[in-house]
């Protein structure tokens, strides 16, 4: 985990983008973390966006309530896994 002040990130953005390929870079403003730079592959963009979508989360929650779902642990136990 790398932590850097906003001014340093602004002045050397390419350097921090490169660093983010190895680990998240937390950006601070006035000593408080306000952002994170994280590496993402093109193939992961859709998953990233869906995970952070309140609308998608509501839809998943609704489906879970409407269906009789079980946890992965319960499924494995029922199958003897």
Q: What is the pTM of this model?
A: 0.62
Pair (50, 64) in one structural domain: yes
The residue assigned the tokens 């992961």 is 44
Whether residue 75 sits in one domain with residue 46: yes
Of 32, 26, 31, 24, the residue nearest 9 (C-alpha): 26
Task: Provide the edge-to-edge strand list for the sheet that holds 32-37.
Answer: 2-5, 25-29, 32-37
**What is the full DSSP assignment across 19-49?**
HHTTS-EEEEETTEEEEEE----GGGHHHHH
60 and 46 in a common domain: yes
51 and 31 part of one domain: no
Same domain, 27 and 46: no
Q: Are 51 and 70 in the same domain?
A: yes
Q: How many CB atoms lie within 10 A of CB 25?
A: 22
Instruction: Tell whether 24 and 8 lie within a shared domain.
Output: yes
Digits of tens for pLDDT over the chain (81 positions)? Answer: 899 999 999 999 999 999 999 999 999 999 999 999 999 999 888 888 888 888 988 888 887 777 777 778 888 888 888
Q: Are 53 and 31 found together in one domain?
A: no
Tokens for 11, please give them.
């002045």
């Amino acid at each position: 985990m790398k932590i850097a002040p906003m001014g340093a990130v602004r002045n050397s953005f390419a350097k921090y983008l490169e660093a983010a390929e190895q680990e998240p870079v937390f950006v601070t403003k006035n000593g408080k973390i306000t952002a994170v730079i994280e590496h993402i592959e093109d193939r992961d963009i859709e998953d990233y966006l869906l995970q952070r979508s309140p609308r998608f989360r509501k839809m998943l929650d609704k489906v879970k309530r409407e269906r009789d779902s079980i946890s992965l642990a319960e499924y494995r136990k029922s199958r003897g896994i």
